[in-house]
C-alpha cells in the first residue's frame, strides 16, 4: 500500500500541477543519471588506458605490425621478441636474421620464447644437412681424408638425432615443463657442438681440413646461439612477463640433505648402496653378488655360452626390448672391436673382473687408422653400463693415438672397470658419463674428449712414455663456452706406475691437463695428487691457444702434487671454494641423482662432496 494517496476526485488544476511536477522530476533525475553514466564511462576508459600504458612500458624498438602472444595472452611485437631472445647470443645478427625469417615463414607467425627456441634448433638441422651434402663432395686419394669424410657423415647422423630429440622436447612441452628440461637440451646441443668439432679434427692438417672447418662454421654458430637461448631460458620467460608458471629451478630433485649424506645402506650381502636404489634393483644386485642373476645372453670363449664373441651377442640383440638387456661376458681375452650402436639402449655388460674379462685391440694412428676409429670398444647407445671389465689397446707408446674405449652414450656408467693404453686411452667423447672405482692408465692426453664426465674414486695411473714425450692426464675439448661439458676427477688418486717411478722427477714431466679446445674445463677435487706432477700443473696446447678462456679448478686435494703455489698463472687456473665445488658433484654436474638410481649399481655412489 502506498504511503500517501488522494481521497476524492482530482480537479483539472491539481492534475495539471502533478503532471508539471512529474515532467520536472523526470528531467532532473534523467540528467543526473546521464551525468553518472558518462562519468563512469570516462573512469573505466582512464583505468584501461593506464593499465595498458603500464603493461606496454617496455621500450619498443620497431613499429612492425607483426605480433606474438605469450602464455598469459599479452601481445608482443615479433621484432621485439626476437631482439630480446638474441640479445645474449654471441652471433646476434645471425640469430635475428634466422628467427625473423622463421617467424615470417611459419604458419602461426608465433614468436614467443618456446617457438623461437624451436626455430633456432630447426636452423641448425637445416644448416647441418647442407654441410653433410657438401662434405661428400670432398674427394681425395688420401685415405685419411676420405675416411674423415665418412666419419663426418656418421657424426652428422648422431647430431641430427640429438637435434631431433631436442626439437621434439620443445614441441611437446609447455613452457613450465620446458624449463625443467634445460639440462637435457644443453646436453643434446653440447653433443652437437662436439660432433661438429670431432668432424673437423678428424681431417689431417691441410686444405681439406680448412675447407671442412669453413663448411661447419655457420652450423656451429647456429648451435652456439641455440645454447645461449636455452642457457637464458628462465630470464627470457621473466622478460616476456610469463611469471605464473610456478617453476622453481633446481639442479636436481635430490634434496640437499640426501646429497650430503648419501643415505647409504649396507645390504645383507655386504654391498653398500644409496638409499634411492629401488628394492627390485637391490634384489638383482644380491643375485649378481651371488652369481645367480640370469643374463639375457652369455658370452664365453670356451663355448659354454650362447656366443663366443661380444660382437655376435650385440648383433643378436632384439630390435625392440623393454627393460635392461644383460650380457654376461665370462673370463677371457676378447680380441675384437664391439660397438654398442645407437639403437642398442639400456645394455648392461658385466664380466668376472677387470683383469679377467678383457676386450683387447691394437688399432692405432701410426698404422693408418683415424683416432676416432682406433677404439677397441665403442659405446654409443644411451644408458650403457659396464661392470668389472677391462678395455685395452695394446698398440704401445710408439704407435701414438690408440684408443681403448670410446664413449658417446648418454647417462652411461662404468663400475670397477679398467681402461688401459698409452696415448688417448679413454675417449670420453660426448654426453653425460660416470666412472666409479675404475683404473685408467696412459701417457699423453689419456682422458680426452668433450663429455660431461665425473670420475669418482678412480685410480689414474700414469705410465712411462717415450723418452722425448711429456705426460698429460686430461685434454678436454669444450669448444663453446656455454657447453655443459667438462671433466671432474673426484676423490681420485693420481700416481705413477711403478715402472715409471724412477724417471718421474728427473727425465719426464707429467701435467694434469692441457686445452684441446678453447674452453677446456677440468676440475680436480678431494683427490690425492702425487708429487711427480709438475708444480706448474698444466701445459699449453699450442702457444697461447685457450689460455685465457680455459677453466682448470682444484678443491680440497692432498698429496705432494696438490700445492697450487707454483701453478701456471693463466686466468682460468684457480682454487675454488666449497660452494663452487658443489656445482661439479655427481648430482649437480651430470644430474646423477636423477638417473643413476635407475641403473643396477652395486657400488657406493657419492652424489655430493665428501668434505662436509
- Residue 193 near residue 142, CB atoms below 8 Å: no
Q: Which residue has the cell 718421474?
A: 504
Look at residues 204, 219, 237 and tell me which one is the last residue of a structural domain. Answer: 237
Asked if the structure places residue 100 within a domain, the reply is: yes
In whole angstroms, give the CA distance from residue 585 to residue 486: 12
Cell numbers describing residue 173: 612441452
How does DSSP assign 166-206, residue by residue? HHHHHHHS-HHHHHTTHHHHHHHHHHHHHHHHHHHHTSPSS
Q: Give residue 17's pLDDT band: very low, low, confident or very high (50, 70, 90).
A: very low
* Same domain? 359 vs 476: yes
**Is residue 502 in some structural domain?**
yes
Q: How far is CA 474 from CA 67, 448, 539, in A?
A: 50, 6, 10
Sole residue written with cell 670363449: 301
Residue 264 lies in a domain: no
Note whether 448 and 429 are within 8 A (CB): no
Bridge partners (DSSP) listed for residue 427: 406, 448
Please give the pLDDT value at position 251: 31
Number of domains observed in the structure of the chain: 2
Query: Is there a contact between 361 and 403 (Cβ–Cβ < 8 Å)?
Result: no
Q: Same domain for 123 and 207?
A: yes
Q: 19: part of which helix (H) or strand (E)? A: helix 12-55
CATH number of 471's domain: 2.160.20.10
Structural domain harbouring 128: 82-237
Please enumerate in sequence order all residues whose Cβ is within 8 A of that of 346, keeping only pairs 6 or more positions apart, or say none: 321, 323, 324, 325, 381, 382, 383
Residue 68 lies in a domain: no
Out of 138-152, 500-514, 532-546, pick the least confident.
500-514
Co-location of 424 and 507 in the same domain? yes
308 and 233 within one domain:
no
C-alpha cell at 58: 617496455
Q: Mark whether 461 and 580 lie in a shared domain.
A: yes
Beta-carbon count within 10 A of 84 CB: 20
Q: What is the pLDDT of residue 294?
A: 79
* pLDDT, mean over the chain: 82
pLDDT computed for residue 5 by the predictor: 35
**Pairing mode, strands 264-266 and 272-274:** antiparallel
Q: Is residue 252 part of a domain?
A: no
Distance CA 418, CA 288 (A): 20
Which of 449, 478, 456, 377 lies closest to 420 in space, CA to CA?
377
Residue 415 included in any domain: yes
Judgement on whether residues 334 and 438 belong to the same structural domain of the protein: yes
Nearest to 556 by CA among 523, 602, 604: 523
Residue 248 included in any domain = no
528 with 464, same domain: the answer is yes
Distance CA 554, CA 538 (A): 12
Average pLDDT for 365-379: 96
CATH of the domain at 130: 1.20.140.40
Burial of 172 (0-12, 13-18, 19+ CB in 10 A): exposed
425/240: higher pLDDT:
425
Is residue 263, in this structure, part of any structural domain at all? no
Whole-structure pTM value: 0.81
The backbone torsions φ and ψ at residue 54, rounded to the nearest 5 degrees and listed phi first, read: -65, -40
Percent of the chain with pLDDT over 90: 65
The yes-or-no verdict on residue 6 having pLDDT over 60 is no
Q: Grade residue 177 by pLDDT with cuts at 50, 70 and 90.
A: confident
Residues 531 and 394 in one domain: yes
Same domain, 194 and 331: no
Where residue 107 falls among pLDDT bands split at 50, 70, 90? low
The verdict on 473 and 583 lying in the same domain is yes
Judgement on whether residues 388 and 461 belong to the same structural domain of the protein: yes
594 confidence band (pLDDT: 50, 70, 90): confident
pLDDT of 505 over the 90 cut: no
Residue 611, SS3?
Answer: coil
The region of weakest confidence among 57-66, 81-90, 155-164 is 57-66
To the query of whether residue 150 is one of the catalytic residues in this protein, the response is no
- Kindly name the residue from 445, 480, 530, 534 that is annotated as catalytic: 445
Tell me 370's DSSP state.
Answer: -
* 309 in the same domain as 160: no
Cell of 261: 649424506
Q: Name the percent of the chain lying above pLDDT 70.
A: 75
Residue 425, number of CB atoms within 10 A of its CB: 27
Amino acid at each position: 500500500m502506498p504511503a500517501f494517496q488522494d481521497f476524492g476526485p482530482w480537479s483539472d488544476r491539481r492534475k495539471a500541477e502533478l503532471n508539471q511536477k512529474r515532467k520536472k522530476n523526470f528531467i532532473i533525475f534523467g540528467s543526473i543519471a546521464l551525468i553518472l553514466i558518462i562519468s563512469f564511462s570516462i573512469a573505466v576508459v582512464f583505468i584501461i588506458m593506464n593499465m595498458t600504458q603500464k603493461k606496454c612500458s617496455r621500450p619498443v624498438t620497431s613499429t612492425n605490425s607483426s605480433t606474438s602472444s605469450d602464455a598469459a595472452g599479452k601481445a608482443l611485437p615479433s621484432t621485439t621478441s626476437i631482439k630480446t631472445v638474441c640479445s645474449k647470443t654471441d652471433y646476434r645478427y645471425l640469430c635475428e636474421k634466422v628467427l625473423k625469417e622463421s617467424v615470417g615463414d611459419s604458419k602461426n607467425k608465433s614468436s614467443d620464447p618456446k617457438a623461437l627456441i624451436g626455430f633456432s634448433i630447426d636452423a641448425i638441422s637445416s644448416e647441418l644437412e647442407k654441410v653433410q651434402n657438401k662434405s661428400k663432395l670432398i674427394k681425395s686419394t688420401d685415405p685419411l681424408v676420405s675416411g674423415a669424410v665418412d666419419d663426418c657423415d656418421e657424426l652428422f647422423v648422431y647430431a641430427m638425432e640429438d637435434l631431433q630429440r631436442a626439437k621434439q622436447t620443445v614441441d611437446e612441452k609447455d613452457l613450465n615443463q620446458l624449463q625443467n628440461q634445460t639440462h637435457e637440451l644443453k646436453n643434446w646441443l653440447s653433443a652437437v657442438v662436439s660432433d661438429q668439432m670431432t668432424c673437423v679434427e678428424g681431417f689431417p692438417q691441410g686444405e681439406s681440413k680448412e675447407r671442412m672447418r669453413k663448411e661447419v662454421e655457420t652450423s656451429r654458430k647456429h648451435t652456439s646461439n641455440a645454447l645461449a637461448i636455452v642457457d637464458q631460458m628462465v630470464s627470457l620467460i621473466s622478460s616476456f612477463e610469463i611469471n605464473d608458471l610456478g617453476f622453481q629451478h633446481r639442479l636436481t630433485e635430490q634434496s640437499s640433505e640426501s646429497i650430503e649424506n648419501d643415505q647409504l645402506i649396507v645390504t645383507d650381502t655386504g654391498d653398500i648402496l644409496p638409499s634411492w636404489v629401488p628394492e627390485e634393483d637391490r634384489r638383482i644386485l644380491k643375485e649378481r653378488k651371488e652369481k645367480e642373476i640370469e643374463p639375457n645372453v652369455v658370452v664365453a670363449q670356451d663355448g659354454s655360452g650362447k656366443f663366443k664373441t661380444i660382437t655376435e651377442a650385440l648383433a643378436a640383440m632384439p630390435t625392440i626390448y623393454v627393460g635392461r638387456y644383460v650380457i654376461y661376458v665370462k673370463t677371457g681375452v676378447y680380441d675384437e672391436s664391439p660397438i654398442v650402436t645407437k639403437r642398442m639402449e639400456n645394455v648392461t655388460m658385466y664380466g668376472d673382473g677387470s683383469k679377467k674379462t678383457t676386450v683387447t685391440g691394437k688399432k692405432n694412428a701410426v698404422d693408418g687408422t683415424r683416432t676416432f676409429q682406433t677404439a677397441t670398444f665403442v659405446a654409443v647407445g644411451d644408458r650403457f653400463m659396464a661392470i668389472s671389465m677391462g678395455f685395452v689397446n695394446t698398440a704401445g707408446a710408439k704407435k701414438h693415438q690408440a684408443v681403448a674405449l670410446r664413449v658417446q652414450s648418454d647417462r652411461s656408467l662404468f663400475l670397477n672397470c679398467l681402461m688401459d693404453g698409452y696415448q688417448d686411452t679413454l675417449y670420453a667423447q660426448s654426453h653425460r658419463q660416470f666412472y666409479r672405482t675404475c683404473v685408467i692408465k696412459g701417457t699423453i692426453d689419456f682422458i680426452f674428449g668433450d663429455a660431461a664426465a665425473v670420475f669418482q674414486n678412480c685410480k689414474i695411473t700414469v705410465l712411462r712414455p717415450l723418452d722425448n714425450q711429456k705426460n698429460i692426464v686430461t685434454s678436454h675439448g669444450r669448444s663453446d663456452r656455454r657447453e655443459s661439458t667438462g671433466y671432474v676427477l673426484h676423490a681420485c688418486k693420481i700416481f705413477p706406475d711403478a715402472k715409471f717411478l724412477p724417471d718421474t722427477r728427473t727425465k719426464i714431466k707429467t701435467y694434469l691437463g692441457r686445452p684441446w679446445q678453447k674452453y677446456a674445463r677440468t676440475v680436480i677435487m678431494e683427490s690425492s695428487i702425487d708429487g711427480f706432477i709438475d708444480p706448474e700443473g698444466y701445459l699449453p696446447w699450442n702457444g697461447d691457444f685457450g689460455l685465457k678462456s680455459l677453466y682448470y679448478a682444484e678443491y680440497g686435494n692432498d698429496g705432494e702434487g696438490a700445492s697450487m703455489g707454483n701453478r701456471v698463472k693463466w686466468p682460468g687456473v684457480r682454487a675454488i671454494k666449497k660452494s663452487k665445488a658443489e656445482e661439479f658433484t655427481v648430482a649437480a654436474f651430470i644430474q646423477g641423482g636423477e638417473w643413476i638410481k635407475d641403473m643396477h649399481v652395486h657400488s657406493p655412489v657419492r652424489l655430493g662432496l665428501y668434505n662436509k
